[in-house]
Amino acid sequence: MLLAIFGILFAALFLINNLAKTILKRPRISFWDLLLAFLAALLMGLGLLSEQLNGANSTLLANMIVIAGIFMAVFSLIVLIAELRRPEKLRQSRGVLGLGIGVLVALAAISIPMTAANFTIPTPTPIQIAASAGTTNTPSVQPTRQAPTVTPSPLPTLTATDTLTPTPRATLTPTATRWTYQSPTPLPTQTNVSPCLATVDFNLRLRVQPDAESETLLVIPFTTTISLYGRSQDGGWWYTEYEDQSGWIDGEYITRSSTCDELPVRDA
* Residues 207, 247 contacting (CB under 8 angstroms): yes
The alpha-helical segments, DSSP class H, found in the chain are 2-23, 31-53, 59-83, 94-118, 126-134
146-176 pLDDT tens trace? 544 544 445 544 444 444 555 556 555 545 5
Alpha carbon distances (Å) from 216 to 59, 198, 211, 222, 247 = 81, 20, 10, 16, 9
Alpha-carbon span 180 to 185, nearest angstrom: 15
User: Residue 180: pLDDT above 80?
Assistant: no
Instruction: Give which of 49, 65, 99, 109 is closest to 79, Cα–Cα.
Output: 99
pTM for the complete prediction?
A: 0.37
* Residues 248, 207 contacting (CB under 8 angstroms): yes
* Residues 96, 80 contacting (CB under 8 angstroms): yes
Q: How confident is the model over 192-210, as a mean pLDDT?
A: 89
What string of DSSP letters covers 13-26? HHHHHHHHHHHTT-
- What are the boundaries of each domain within the chain? 2-118, 196-262
Higher pLDDT, 103 or 161: 103
User: Residue 229: pLDDT above 70?
Assistant: yes
Other CB atoms within a 10 A radius of the CB of residue 10 amount to 20
Q: What is the DSSP letter of 46?
A: H
11-20 pLDDT tens trace? 888 888 878 8
* Residues 249, 214 contacting (CB under 8 angstroms): no
* Identity at 45, one-letter amino acid code: G
Instruction: Give which of 226, 237, 231 is closest to 260, Cα–Cα.
Output: 231
Q: Is 250 helix (H, G, I), strand (E, B) or coil?
A: strand
Q: How confident is the model over 74-102, as a mean pLDDT?
A: 79
| CATH of 196-262 among 2.30.30.40, 3.40.50.2300, 2.40.50.100, 3.40.50.2000 | 2.30.30.40
Alpha-carbon span 105 to 111, nearest angstrom: 10
Q: How high is the pLDDT of residue 87?
A: 72
